[in-house]
Amino acid sequence: MPAVLVNGAVLDFEISGEVGPLVVQLHGLMSSRHRDAHLGLDLGRALNGHRVLRVDARGHGGSTGTDDPAHYAWERLADDLLAVLDHVAPGETVHGLGPSMGTGTLLHAVLRDIERFDSLTLMLPPTAWGTRRAQAETYLSNADLIEASGVAAFVELGSTTPVPPALAEAPLTGPAVPEVLLPTVLRGAATTDLPPREHIANITVPTLILAWTGDHTHPLRTATKLNETLPHSRLVVARTPYGVMAWPGLFAEHVITAGVENPTTGVIEIPGGRPATRSA
């Protein structure tokens, strides 16, 4: 697999497709491009006529890591992303897709180089702003648990947590991070947050937000606030596994039509729940 050395870590990636605009697909905390595909979250699989760049973040999947928690903050992962893009497609604009940690990475990256991105797809936005402190404390507690009792104890603890309704049929998977690095990765995640909302309000890139319900680590509140803040966004909410099955097609449509201005913004509801409302 191709890889690039960035700030002490070898970042593993792959590119599918021969021609067409470039899409970069990230993943969430403790996941990888292969784990996301196993969970049905590889949205790029429905996209034709494009090249798809799938990147494993430092310390995740096939990428190596570093022992400094600060390197896993979303601001630093944004540096990694832009370095990979400079290596793979220098000067080329891209469509960005990222769940959870990938959402944080993309938002920091686009604020650093907004001209680089033709569209954004923010999937499962994580805890942010007012809800971030409690999640950070959970990450720190889990890091201590892994060091004291091993990753098996951490996985067992996670198995008792209710899964979102939209993940009811997903297979069980473990962390895609080596046990020796996992506490460091979690401590890095505890130090970071989405950019301030007043900065996000300056992002004019067409944005699709994909969220689901019943997940305290990816609360609908964050997705709703992002949709209220971003000038050109729409929010799609899934309440069942069938809703998630629609996401690859919605993503493909968003990428293909991103260059066409659409004045309609708001919330699109996947069948299975009540329509959400958008604040003025």
Which CATH number goes with the domain that contains 218?
3.40.50.1820
Question: What percentage of the chain reaches a pLDDT higher than 70?
Answer: 91
In a domain, 98, yes or no: yes
Tell me: pLDDT of 147 over 80. yes
In a domain, 52, yes or no: yes
In a domain, 275, yes or no: no
Question: What percentage of the chain reaches a pLDDT higher than 90?
Answer: 79
Total tally of structural domains belonging to the chain: 1
Residue type, 54: R
Tell me: pLDDT of 144 over 90. yes
What pLDDT score does 259 carry?
53
| CB burial string 158-179: b at 16+ within 10 A, e below | eeeeeebbbbeeeeeeebbbee
In a domain, 274, yes or no: no
- pLDDT digits over 168-221, tens only? 777 778 899 999 999 999 999 999 999 999 999 999 999 999 999 999 999 999
In a domain, 276, yes or no: no
In a domain, 280, yes or no: no
pLDDT confidence tier of residue 58, bands split at 50, 70 and 90: very high
Domain carrying residue 89 = 3-269
In a domain, 41, yes or no: yes
Residue 167 vs residue 70, higher pLDDT: 70
